[in-house]
Chains A and B, each alone.
Chain A
Amino acid sequence: MDRQDACPTFFIVNFRLSHIPSKWWRRAAQLLCLFIFLWLFRKTESDGSGSIAYGANIFFRLDPLVAASAVLAGVKFIAALWPALVTVALTLVLGRFFCGWVCPLGTLLDIASHAIPKSTTPPNPRWRVVKYFLLGVVLASAVLSCQIVGYLDPFSILVRGMAVAVDPWMNRAVTAPFTLLYQQTPESVSNFTEPIYAFLKAYLLPFQQNSFAFSIVSFVILVGVFALEFAERRFWCRNLCPAGALIGIFARFSLLRRFPARACGRCKAETDYTARCRMGAFNDRGLLQPESCNLCLDCLDDCPMDLPKFTFDKPKTAPAPFEPSRRLFLGSVVTGMALPLVSGAVHAARCLTADLVRPPGALPEEKFLDLCVRCAECMKVCTTNALQPVLFEAGLDGAFSPRFMGRIGYCEYNCTLCAQVCPTGAIALLPLPEKQKFIMAKAVFDKELCLPFKKAESCITCEEHCPLPEKAILFKDVEVTHPITKQRVIVKRPYIVWSLCIGCGICETKCPIEGKSAVRMIREEAVPPAVRNDREIMEMPSQR
């Protein structure tokens, strides 16, 4: 192996400042970005003002993979995703720094690796091309309008796993002992514990306890990414992450390069620092692959010769060849294009169930699934916990997209938070007056369950909560025979004013009977004609 002479450089990027190792800068950046990520995560909730003050979804908007697949599938220019261009631009200058300095999942994996014993089996470099395969599949599939980025994007996996599983479970675990202490111990004890609880509640805990269906699935996926650390350090980043693959492709053209690009003889002969590279970025001939190197700067500090540095000089040696072969690229595109055919068959076969309602402002179903990246931000921010993940109710390619469940929660009349946090506009951010007219669904009364119909008892809870200035639930006074007392009584029977109802679901949530609600949200086009024409429970415009 040659030992490269130190050559005159135009600009040396060497982070060493007196005795501070370079990697401390990287660590500081990682911790800062992780802190910002966690802080934004905690801030992704309502404060009563009606808007989210901070760019809660900024990490999704910085992600070039989300941007690429959303734009391809949605066939539209999504202005909000412009930060992804900043990431690409910086990558073209600095290389794959995003994965080493910014990505919170990468930081968490690095932290976790301290607790995970180093694998004794040598890493298999053939895994590294899998991420390019996955990238090809995601993008090709997106072109044919089948959006699978939400299952493979690192932020989708991380945020969804945290939002639907980790955060609610953590909240339960932390608040339970404080509740127990508050309710079961004398005031002298709770005078001590309550201030601690108040502090936690103000800064670290979510405002309310949410619950999400199928949360274990997202949790297992998230844990799976961490479990891969047992096989190889940063297994996910090296081998699977399609966002990293995309960033890596741009990194191949970066202006900033490591010098020397090849591990020198001393390194190979003595301690083989190249094997310690957390990204396995040195190939079998000791040449650094720019698409794998995430600029962690460990090798700068490790080298006893103090030789390596990152510079903007034109490299003297040709870069390592691009790993994935043309065949792999073609294979990924073909697979990606085959996916929609499979799910398309399922699409055609399935008809959305009548009660699969989407959030307010959601685009029509096909477009919605094109743009939804399964990030779970909307589900997290919904103040009533009404948005829940589906599993396969919306088709094979609909998993983890949000559905609105009126029995669990309702859509607050003056709220547009879900649309505000949606990074791709799958839920369109409508001005409030427009959102207040957006038809999510229609309410339909079930005469078999509704008290005034079944038991001759007036109830009115539904009408009481209808938020519309002109209420969509009205009453007819009907004289009936009470089923038990057999007396003639006047009962207030509710009915829906079809033209006014926006399907916000508050009537379904507040209906006081046990179990299934007596008034339920049904997708507008799925309300059967028999119900539409039932004058006892529905007033159609033509009937006015």
Chain B
Amino acid sequence: MKTTHVSAVAQTVTSNRRQFLSQVAAWSAGLLAAPPIFQVFPQSLNAATAEPLLSVGKGTDYEALLVKVFEPLGGIAPFVKKGARVVIKPNMSWDRKPEQAANTHPLLVKAMAKLCLSAGASKVMIFDRTCQDMRLCYASCGTPAAIESLNDPRVTCSFVDDRKFVPVKIQKGRSITEWEFYKDAISADCYINMPIAKDHKLARLTLGLKNVMGVIGGKRGQLHQGLTQKVVDLNTVLRPTLTIVDATRILLRNGPSGGKLDDVKELHTLFASADTVAADAYATTLFGMKPDELETTKAAFAMGLGQMDLNKVKIVKV
């Protein structure tokens, strides 16, 4: 590891991550009598770069579009190292077909997996904790079939296993101080957050920050009261390596489950950033809104999770 290129803060993050992962292993090994609560120290708060980079592109060939969008970010190499364990977290929560724009488009997920594999990932895991019956959701969204067609044993699209949730203490949480997270998600070397941009009655829009709901356990319905701060609290634990937002089709109304094709708008747009808050801020503009109209974006910015002022974001159109 080239220490000259790694800032002191990033080093703290890495060492905290190692400590965190060894605690996860200890808990899973039953070396602690009762399910323990272990600390996560998000020293990386306020470490968001002052001018995050956001890359945005348009096109109908989704695989080519994805590769193009990665170019300004330096390709896939800065994010996926050789031998890395990668998690791609798309939205697969609803029993809806791709054209209904309730789930991330399967061809995009397939292209993302392909890119990670080409970078030398040892394992690419794709999953989502669905809102409806998982067999129906996985079958309808089209992603497992698309992944299957890659014919690569390194990439899996499996159902969420209820045994794999581990409790995590949310040290900086204002609304919630502890919640269950999916073990595979929090112990990934590279976590790629891949939501689809949708309308949401309570949150107004569901984008990158809210996509974390798919890797948490417990009764998610109970998070809906005071949803904004709770989503942000969860995001202090799970810091995606990259957020890439599927805006090829967006859901304008009746989200997040949708259902009517009339509510879908085809934009054929894709954008990505290492800064999830910046990605969310940009996404709001696609719905004709301003970044500060979304409570989650504002709250996340207030906690130092990222940059929401689009004037300070370096937007590169490919």
Contacts and interface: CB of A to CB of B under 8 A. Distances in A.
B246 interface: no
Q: How large is the interface on A (under 10, 10 to 19, 20 to 34, 35 or more residues)?
A: 35 or more
Chain B interface mostly helix, strand, loop or mixed? loop
A541 interface: no
A182 B259 contact: no
A25 interface: no
Given A182-B163, A463-B201, A468-B259, A207 B135 contact: yes
B257 A467 contact: yes
Interface in B188-229: 200-202, 219, 221-222, 224-226
B136 A467 contact: no
Contacts of A475: 201
A46 B224 CA distance: 30
Given A184-B29, A184-B30, A464 B202 contact: yes
A257 B163 CA distance: 59
Given A458-B202, A460-B202, A467-B259, A412 B133 contact: yes
A334 B281 CA distance: 78
A46 B28 contact: no
Contacts, number: 90
A512 B226 CA distance: 13
Interface string B91-126: 000010000000000000000000000000000000
Contacts of A355: none
A511 B28 contact: no
A524 interface: no
A470 B140 contact: no
Interface string A427-458: 00000000000000000000000010000011
Contacts of A179: 163
B221 A511 contact: yes
Interface in A466-499: 466-471, 475, 492
B257 A466 contact: yes
B260 interface: yes
A464 B140 contact: no
A271 interface: no
Interface string B219-249: 1011011100000000000000000000000
A49 B219 CA distance: 27
Contacts of A186: 25, 28-31
B254 interface: yes
A415 B140 CA distance: 12
A459 B225 contact: yes
A384 interface: yes
A243 B126 CA distance: 51
B125 to A, nearest CB: 15
Contacts of A9: none
A384 B130 CA distance: 13
A465 B257 contact: yes
A46 B257 contact: no
B132 interface: yes
B222 A46 contact: no
A512 B136 contact: no
A412 B132 contact: yes
Contacts of A510: 221
A46 B140 CA distance: 13
Nearest to B223: A512
Contacts of A384: 133
Contacts of B31: 186
A475 B202 CA distance: 11
A182 B201 CA distance: 39
Interface in A34-66: 46-50
Interface in A188-210: 190, 207
A412 B221 contact: no
Nearest to B256: A464
**Which of A179, A459, A469, A475 has the largest number of chain B CB atoms within 10 A?**
A469
A185 B201 contact: no
A249 B299 CA distance: 78
B113 to A, nearest CB: 20
A451 B221 CA distance: 12
**Which of B200, B224, B226 has the largest number of chain A CB atoms within 10 A?**
B224
Given A187-B28, A461-B224, A48 B136 contact: yes
Nearest to B200: A464
A475 B257 CA distance: 16
Given A458-B202, A463-B201, A464-B256, A46 B25 contact: no
A15 interface: no
Contacts of B95: 412-414, 467
B138 interface: yes
Nearest to A186: B29
A458 B204 CA distance: 13
Contacts of B224: 459-461, 512
Contacts of B289: none
A183 B257 contact: no
A116 B210 CA distance: 60
A506 B131 CA distance: 10
Contact of B133 (A46, A184, A471, A511): A46
A207 to B, nearest CB: 7
Given A179-B163, A185-B29, A466-B257, A461 B221 contact: yes
Contacts of B77: none
A459 B28 CA distance: 34
Nearest to B206: A464
A30 interface: no
B136 A470 contact: no
A469 B259 contact: yes
Nearest to B25: A187
Nearest to B33: A184
A156 to B, nearest CB: 27
A274 B145 CA distance: 61
B258 to A, nearest CB: 8
B139 interface: yes
Interface string A400-427: 0000000000001111000000000000
A467 B131 CA distance: 11
A218 interface: no
Contacts of B133: 46, 383-384, 412, 415
**Which of B30, B132, B140, B163 has the largest number of chain A CB atoms within 10 A?**
B132
Nearest to B26: A186
Nearest to B100: A469
Given A451-B225, A466-B257, A470-B260, A46 B202 contact: no
**Which of A46, A183, A457, A466 has the largest number of chain B CB atoms within 10 A?**
A183
Interface string A149-193: 000000000000000000000000000000100111111001000
Contacts of A185: 29-30
Contacts of A463: 201
A184 B224 CA distance: 32
B98 to A, nearest CB: 15
B259 A457 contact: no
Contacts of A466: 257
A540 B146 CA distance: 44
B201 A460 contact: yes
29 contacts: A46-B133, A47-B135, A47-B139, A50-B136, A50-B139, A183-B30, A184-B29, A185-B30, A186-B28, A187-B28, A187-B29, A383-B133, A412-B133, A412-B136, A451-B225, A457-B226, A458-B225, A459-B202, A459-B224, A461-B221, A467-B95, A469-B254, A469-B259, A469-B260, A492-B201, A492-B202, A511-B221, A512-B221, A512-B224
Interface of A: 46-50, 179, 182-187, 190, 207, 383-384, 412-415, 451, 457-461, 463-471, 475, 492, 506, 510-512
The 10 closest A-B CB pairs, nearest first, are: A512-B221, A184-B30, A48-B139, A48-B135, A186-B29, A469-B259, A469-B260, A460-B202, A383-B133, A461-B221
